[in-house]
Amino acid sequence: MKKMKQAFLFFAIFVSVCALFASAEAATIELNNIDDDGVGFNDPTPASPVGGNTGTTVGAQRLQVFERAAEIWENALDSNVTIVVQSTFQDRGFTPCTPTSGAIGAATSLQIFANTPGLHWPNTWHKVALANKLANADQAPGPPDSGFLAEPFADDIIAFFNPNVGTAACLTTRVWYYGLDHNEGASGIDLLAVVLHEIGHGLGFANDVTEASGASPLGLPDVYSSFTYDNVVDKAWNQMHNAERAASAVRFRKVVFAGPEVTAEAPNVLTLGDVDLFITAPSSLSGTILLFGTAAFGPPATQANFSGNVVLGVDGVVGAGSPPGTVNDGCEPLTNGGAISGNIALVERGFCAFTVKVKNAQNAGATGVLVQNNAGGAFGMAGVDPTITIPSLGISTADGNLIRSNSGVAVALQSFPNRMVGADDDGRVMIFTPNPVQGGSSGSHWDQKPQPNLLMEPAINADLTDNLDLTDELLFDTSWDGDLHCPVTSDDRATVFLANGCNSGVANDLGPFVVFPELNNKKIAGPVAGGCYLADTLKYCSPRTGGDYASCVSQVTTALLNSGAINGSEKGAIQDCLDE
Amino acid sequence: MRKKYFGKLWLLLLASVAVFLIAIPGMTDNAEDEKTTTAPETKSDSEVTGGVSGLKAATDEDGNLRPLTVQESQELDKQLKKTLGKFKKHGPKTNPDGAISLITAPHSVELTILTDGPEGDSVHCMSAEELAAAAAKTEKAEEE
C-alpha cells in the first residue's frame, strides 16, 4: 500500500512537472508565406551565399533571414500557442516607395484583445499573440490564413517587406543585405535587423494609442501603456485621460518605461556615465542645459574634451543650391581661424555633410564643434571620417540662437557617472516622445539616446546585432513571462497610506484595480485600469488638496467598494484617515 | 523573472526525482542522466553589450528623424491610400463573457521608412496615419 502511495505520489508530481514543462515551452513562430510562385519569398533568382546565409536563390535567402529572426525570438519567449506571422516580400501596395525614400518593411498585430482568459490587466488591450499565450489557447483559432489579409484573420502578425528596393523607382542606391552577420556595408539594408524589429512590434512592443489625440480603441488602455510613465506629472499613461496622454506624448525625454524587468536589466545593457551640456558663461545664462545629439564620427564628446568659449564659424561663401548654403554653414574652409583656434566652433546645419563642417572647423584649430540645426531641435549626426579628431554635437535652432545672441558664451559637458545613457535618474529607460508627435514612432519605441543603440529605437541603426537587448524584458513586463508585473512606480507598501501620511491600516493587496480618472473635472464614463496595488488607485487624487482631494478619495473608494475590491469597513478606515 | 521561474521549476523537478528514487530503488544513474538532459536553456540573447558608442541615424527637430520632403510624403501617401482604401475598418466585437476583440490590421500598419539624404540616411517607423497627415500638411502649405 505504501509503495502504491509512493508510486501515485510520483505519478502526480511527474504529471505536474510535465505540465510545468508544457507551460514553459519555447515559443514557436511560423511563417505563413503567402507569396505567389516565382516572387517574393519564392523568388528563384540565383544568389550567392552571403554572410552565413546559405540560400542559393533570392527567395531562399529571404526565408533564411526570416527563419533566423524567428529562431531568435523563439529562444526568448515561451508560449504554447504557435505565433503565425503572415508575411510577404511581394509588392502588395503596403511598401510605397520613391527613388529617395520608401517603406522597406511594415508590420502590425492583426488583432488586439481585452478581458480574455488569463490576462492580468482588466479592460486592457493585449496583442493577439500575448492574449493567446496567457489564455494558453488560440483566441483566433484556425489554420493559417489562406491568403493576403484573408479572413478569418487566424494569423497573429502581418509583415511586409519591399521587393523593389534598389530599382530605379525605389531607393535607387540601396540594396537588401541577406547575410546573417549584420555586415550590410554602406549601401546595404540589414534585413535581419528589420525583421527582428518588425516582429518585436507585432509581439507587443507597441501601444494602441493615437499619440496626437491620446485616444485609444474604445477608450481602453493597452498593457504597454500601463508601464509608460511621465516623470513630469508622475502618472502612467493608463492613468491619464486623452488630453493628458496627448500632452505627455510630446514631453521629449520625460517619459520612461517603468517596468521592473526592464529597469532591472538596464544596468546590464546600457552604458554607465551620462553627460549634460551646460552654458557656463555669461553668468546670466550659466546653468542652462542644452539638449544635444551625438556624432557617429570623431571621438565621443566628454567632460574632458568638450568645454570652452563658443565662436561662430565663418566661411564667407553662400553655396549655390536649393536651398542655398550660408556663410556660417562651414561647408568651405573657415576664414576666421584666428578667432576659432582653441575654441568651440558653432556652424549651421545644411548644404553639406556633417563631416565636412567638422573637418573645416578642425582645420581652423577648433577644439570642438556645435552644429546648429537649421529647422528644429537637437539632432544626431551620421557620417564617417577617420581623420576627424575633435568631438562634435548637434544642437537645436533655438539653443544655437541663444548662444549667438549673447556675447562671451562658454559651454561645458558635465559627466554624471552614475546615470545610464538613455535612462532617468531612477534607472528607467526613456521612451521616444519627440515634439511634435511622430505617429508610428512616438510612444512605441525607445528614445534614441541609449548607448549602445537598442533594437527598438525608432531608427534601425547600423550597429545592431542578434541581441534583443531590453526588448524581451519589456515584453516580460507586459506579462509575456506569464506573471503580473507592477510598475516600479507602484506604491507597494503593506498598507494603504493617504497623501496626508495617514496609515489607513487597510491591506494594500495586489491588483490591478479600476480607477476613474476625471476629464475636465467630470467623471468619465468608462473604467480605466491603473496601478498594481490598492494604493495606486488613490494616487491620481494626490495632486488635489483639501476638499477636492477628499472628494476624489471618496469617489474612488466608492468605486472600489462597488467593484468588491474593498469592503465597507475598509472604505470607512480610508475615509477616517482623511480627517486626521 | 525567467531565472526565478526556472528556479521554481528546478525545485519541483528535483522533488520529483527524489520521490522517483524512493518509489523505484536502483534508478539513481538514470535519474542523474535525466537531470542532466533536462537542464533549462540559458538565455542566449541578452549578452552585455555596454560600452560601445554606435552610429546614430541623422535626426531632426526635437529628436525627430529627417522628415519626408513634400514630394516624398505625397507620393508615398498616394500609393498607400490606394491600397488601404481596399480594406474595410473593423469594429470591436464583444463576447457574452466580456471578452473584446478588435481586428486592427491593416490600418494599424506601421511602416519602416528609409530616407536617403545629403547628410546620410535614416530608417524609422511611421504609421499610415502619420504619413497621411504629413502629406496633407505639405499639400496645405503648398496651397498657401
DSSP for A108-132, written as a single string: EESEEEES-TT-SSTT-BEEHHHHH
How far is the C-alpha of A536 from the C-alpha of A532, rounded, in Å? 7
Q: With an 8 Å Cβ cutoff, are A444 and B110 in contact?
A: yes
Q: Are A463 and A190 in contact (CB under 8 A)?
A: no
**Which of A42-56, A115-129, A134-148, A375-389 shows the lowest mean pLDDT across its residues?**
A375-389
Round the average pLDDT of chain B to a whole number and report it.
Answer: 55
Cβ-defined contact of A444 to B72 (cutoff 8 Å):
no
Q: Which among A17, A272, A379 is the top mutation candidate for probing chain B, defined by the most B β-carbons within 10 Å of its own β-carbon?
A: A379
Judged by CB atoms closer than 8 Å, whether chains meet at B101 and A140 is answered as yes
Q: Look-up: residue for cell 540589414? A: A190
Tell me whether 0.85 is exceeded by the ipTM: no
Q: Which of the two residues, A519 and B83, has the higher pLDDT score?
A: B83
Lowest mean pLDDT among A7-21, A25-39, A306-320, A374-388: A7-21
Give me the pLDDT at residue A289, please: 83
Quick one: pLDDT band at residue A244, thresholds 50, 70, 90? very high
Number of alpha carbons in the 13 Å side-chain half-sphere of residue B94: 5
Asked if the model's pLDDT at residue A522 lies above 60, the reply is: no
b or e along A337-373 (b: 16 or more beta carbons within 10 Å of the residue's beta carbon)? bebbeebbbbbbbbbbbbbbbbbbbbebbbbbbbbbb
Which residues from B are below 8 Å from A106, CB to CB?
109-112
**pLDDT band at A528; cut points 50, 70, 90:** low
Q: What are the φ/ψ torsions at residue A243 (nearest 5 degrees)? A: -65, -40
Of the candidate ranges A256-265, A293-302, A334-343, A512-521, the one whose mean pLDDT is the lowest: A512-521
pLDDT score at A468: 96
| pLDDT for residue A285 is more than 90 | yes
When CB atoms are compared, the residue of B102, B114, B129 closest to A104 is B114
Determine the Cα–Cα distance for residues A379 and A371; give it in Å rounded to an integer.
Answer: 9
Distance CA A170, CA A109 (A): 26
A-chain CB neighbours of B70 within 8 Å are: none
Smallest CA–CA distance, residue B4 to chain A, in Å, is 11
Mean pLDDT, all residues of chain A: 88
User: Do residue A174 and residue B114 have CB atoms under 8 angstroms apart?
Assistant: yes
Alpha-carbon distance A198 to A15, whole Å?
A: 38
Name the residue facing A110 among B63, B64, B105 (closest C-beta).
B105
Residue where the block lists cell 498616394: B78
Do A359 and A388 touch, CB atoms closer than 8 A? yes
Helix axes A546-563, A568-578, angle to 10 degrees: 170
Beta carbons within 10 angstroms of residue A386's beta carbon: 8
Backbone angles phi, psi at A331, to 5 degrees: -85, -10
Q: Which residues of B touch A113 (CB under 8 A)?
A: 99-102
Output A2 or A53, whichever has higher pLDDT: A53
Nearest of A200, A261, A222, A206 to residue A29 by alpha carbon? A200
Compute the count of residue pairs across chains A and B with CB atoms less than 8 Å apart: 344
Confirm if A251 and A433 have CB atoms less than 8 A apart. Answer: yes
Pairing of strands A410-420, A272-281: antiparallel
Give CA torsion, residues A550, A554, A560, A563, to 10 deg. -160
Q: How far apart are CA A269 and CA B51, in angstroms?
A: 9
Helix or strand holding residue A29 (H, E): strand A29-33
**pLDDT of A415 above 80:** yes
- A112-131 b/e (C-beta count within 10 Å ≥ 16 → b): bbbbbebbbbbbbbbbbbbb
Q: How close does chain A come to B30, measured CA to CA in Å? A: 15
CA–CA separation, A521 and A542 (whole Å): 15
Residue A332, phi then psi, degrees to nearest 5: -125, 165
Residue B110 three-state SS: strand
Q: Using a CB–CB cutoff of 8 Å, tell me whether A174 touches chain B.
A: yes
| Weakest mean pLDDT among A292-296, A439-443, B124-128 | B124-128
Confidence of residue A428 (pLDDT cuts 50, 70, 90): very high
pLDDT at A527: 45
Chain A residues 238-277 with CB within 8 Å of chain B? 252-253, 261, 265, 268-272
- Alpha helices by DSSP H, listed for A429-510, are 471-475
Range A448-454 average pLDDT: 87
Range scoring the smallest mean pLDDT among A78-82, A220-224, A457-461, A467-471 = A457-461
**CA distances in angstroms from A259 to A223, A437, B113, listed in the order given:** 11, 23, 29
| Cβ contacts of B45 within 8 Å, gap of 6 or more | A72, A75, A76, A466, A467, A468, A472
Higher pLDDT, A430 or A484: A430
